[in-house]
Amino acid sequence: MPARSPSRSSGLPLVVAITGASGAPYAVRLVHELVRSGQPIWLIVSAHGWRLLQTESGIADGRAFRRHVGAARWDANVRAFDDGDRGAAPASGSTLTGGMVICPCSLGTVAAVAHGTSRSLIERAADVTLKERRKLIVVPRETPLSDIHLENLLRLSRAGALVLPAAPGYYNRPKTVDELVDFVVARVLDHVGVRHGLGQRWAPNED
């Protein structure tokens, strides 16, 4: 079995990537919660990811993202990289990180990572995360899924990645879209070892 990534207490950066799959609110909320917790993050947004952030969350560029999250916390915890720079720090296995989350993760990105055909920094960083046996979490959000999609996701899972679909639960009877977003983000935070207060955990009634 692949080794677990270091815990947040190690102080290592968590690579966070945003690609073009619908689901920008998940990405924005995830980054917000990570910087709120003091987790250092290395942020990579693809060209389609920026288009997605603009379309779904009104965030046009890095400056707007910084304002949305909060300038002080952003400056203290976020280092941004250009997705076209395949020679940047996240592309090297000798650079230590605490793992990687791709949220949302397009199925095109899934395919590239699953078959080792990286052509961008995001895809290369994910490839490195797998080969170094660090934790890779992919958050796909697309429906329905073809046989090709399912096979690629299975290939990633067998390679050691955690496939965490953007599939919110309803047992807590959510009343807002934000609560649905928080459900998924909470699961991501759980798996990267970041404490949070998002939502309620399942507590079945016992008669």
The set of residues, in sequence order, having a beta carbon less than 8 Å from that of 30 and lying 6+ positions away, is 16, 101, 103, 185, 188, 189
pTM assigned to the model: 0.92
Q: Supply the pLDDT for residue 6.
A: 40
Tokens of 57: 């969350």
Strand blocks (E) in the chain: 14-18, 41-45, 78-82, 100-105, 136-140, 162-163
Print pLDDT tens along the chain (207 aa).
Answer: 344 444 444 689 999 999 998 999 999 999 999 999 999 999 999 999 999 999 999 999 999 999 999 999 999 999 999 999 999 999 999 999 999 999 999 999 999 999 999 999 999 999 999 999 999 999 999 999 999 999 999 999 999 999 999 999 998 899 999 999 999 999 999 999 999 988 778 877 655
Residue 30 to residue 42: CA distance in whole angstroms: 13
Residue 117 to residue 109: CA distance in whole angstroms: 10
Q: Supply the pLDDT for residue 163.
A: 98
154: left (phi over 0), alpha (psi -120 to 50) or beta: alpha
Q: Supply the pLDDT for residue 2.
A: 43
Q: Supply the pLDDT for residue 67.
A: 97
* Domain extent listing, the chain: 10-191
Architecture of 10-191 per CATH?
A: 3-Layer(aba) Sandwich (3.40)
